Amino acid sequence: MGAAQNKTQIIVLRVLLGLFEAGFAPGCAFYLSSWYKKYELTSRFAWLFTSTAVAGTLSGLLAGVILDHLEGARGFRGWRWLFILEGVASIVGAVVIFFVLPDFPSSTTRNGFLTEEERTLACNRLAAEGFGLTQGPQRKVGHWKAFKMVCADWRTWGLALLFVLNTGSQTMQYFIPCLVKSFGWRGKTAQYYTIPSYGFAIVCVLSSCFLADRLKTI
């Protein structure tokens, strides 16, 4: 997006970004549920969702620094540098995670990550609660068949509806700089003033999620 030359290009790139990242949140939820029991999940989700708030905090700080020091550097506006640098960091992080993230408990082959005893324990913990990713590689289902099974389950559509209904509240973060500007702050100062809202979100998410696991209310 840092190379976009007009509004149309920005809109097209933003749509493509949304398409490519659409599976991230449900994919993370699925992955975590293959490792943790029911009343262990909420606190793990807390760290996942807190990472969004932490990223927002760091993004506001980084945006202020970039707009302050890189405006006009090598002929690029500061906002272009913001997209370029944060985009490069995301790509590097994705490549690293691709190689280091372990598979499911029953099928992970990463040397030294789990012993055979630990793998068995991880599978049995989930089996005790009726979770299904414990059969091992010999019981794997093909991707297309798995996709059809998921689409045939009414719970999939219920969860999809919940994610859609939550989209409006999540997109608020994209407009926080605009809201801050409406109070009179401009430029790098407006970016710095986005940080407290994310800091407050971190406290709320961590406290509510850990309390939910503790009291077993979800």
pLDDT of 180-217, one tens digit each?
A: 778 887 766 777 777 787 788 788 888 887 787 777 76
Show the tokens assigned to 205.
């998410």
Show the tokens assigned to 217.
């209310």
Task: Say yes or no to pLDDT of 106 above 80.
Answer: no
Q: What mean pLDDT value characterizes the chain?
A: 79
Question: Phi and psi for 76 in degrees, rounded to 5?
Answer: -105, 145
pLDDT of residue 39: 79
pLDDT of residue 218: 56
Q: What is the distance between the alpha carbons of residues 106 and 205, in angstroms, rounded to a whole number? A: 31
pLDDT of residue 207: 84
Q: Is 167 helix (H, G, I), strand (E, B) or coil?
A: helix
